[in-house]
Chains A and B, each alone.
Chain A
């Protein structure tokens, strides 16, 4: 079985790129303001975006724009597509925000609470794109290209999958970073190897 990267994208330093080419950038905004600006620029039209926490917004935007223009974009059910993400800070940014809502008068916010798990970002992506395959969220010190390659290869074999959204979605204290790859079985020109994953992530 040969896995390939058919498309990749990144959000880093207030810059959104697809396949290495800058699509939208604005250095004058804060990292979280940039997410809203990117959403409006791409005219996504999904009001629930505004209810998401910043981690979910980051992953949702990156995934939406990764799938845009591909056969996977739209309402078709995707039973053999998976989502495999990782990050460093888990949901700590929102955990802190939730703690603040408890405060002295004790009014914890339900809508903030629901985002106090990092894997919720995958749920938001899966709901929008009707993705029903395997999904796993890992928390690690840094993006581990070797582990990602091995894990994704293994799941493709064991679960008979055809495609997956794979990558890194990190958000903490105005540091925002996403790197997502669309990985497909026998489809694409870039091989899903550790060296290439590392190179694309660092680029």
Chain B
């Protein structure tokens, strides 16, 4: 799981252009949206694309995103259980 978390952090930084943030700056339990990383709705769409492109996960219900993208830990947990690639 730790390897997946580290990989996920690198991918998020790259895909969301978080230039001034390093993987160590991202708390595994901190909220990704609002406070924490302060991501916005376009970032949410980009994370959905990342899940499909890199892990073969296609979210069917947009409401799922609220739980999945709560934190890095939540995202990694969901990916580890549902990834197809």
Interface residues of A (CB under 8 A from B): 47, 50-51, 105, 107-111, 114
Contact = CB atoms under 8 A, between A and B. Distances in A.
A47 B18 CA distance: 7
B20 A111 contact: no
Contact of A109 (B18, B19, B49, B52): B49
B60 interface: no
A50 B20 contact: yes
A107 B20 contact: no
Contacts of B16: 51, 111
A107 B18 contact: no
A111 B53 CA distance: 15
Contacts, number: 28
A110 B18 contact: no
B22 to A, nearest CB: 13
B42 A114 contact: yes
A110 B46 CA distance: 6
Kindly list the 4 A-B residue pairs having the minimum CB-CB distance in the complex, ordered from nearest: A110-B45, A50-B19, A50-B17, A107-B53
B19 A111 contact: no
B18 A111 contact: no
B11 interface: no
A107 to B, nearest CB: 5
Contacts of A114: 42
Interface string B36-53: 001000110110010011
A44 to B, nearest CB: 11
Contacts of B17: 50-51, 111
21 contacts: A47-B19, A47-B20, A47-B38, A50-B17, A50-B18, A51-B16, A51-B17, A105-B53, A107-B49, A107-B53, A109-B46, A109-B49, A110-B42, A110-B45, A110-B46, A110-B49, A111-B16, A111-B42, A111-B43, A111-B45, A111-B46
A88 B16 CA distance: 28
Interface in B61-82: none
A111 to B, nearest CB: 5
Contacts of A50: 17-20
A110 B48 CA distance: 10
Given A47-B19, A50-B17, A107-B52, 12 more contacts: A47-B18, A50-B19, A50-B20, A51-B16, A107-B53, A109-B46, A110-B42, A111-B16, A111-B42, A111-B43, A111-B45, A114-B42
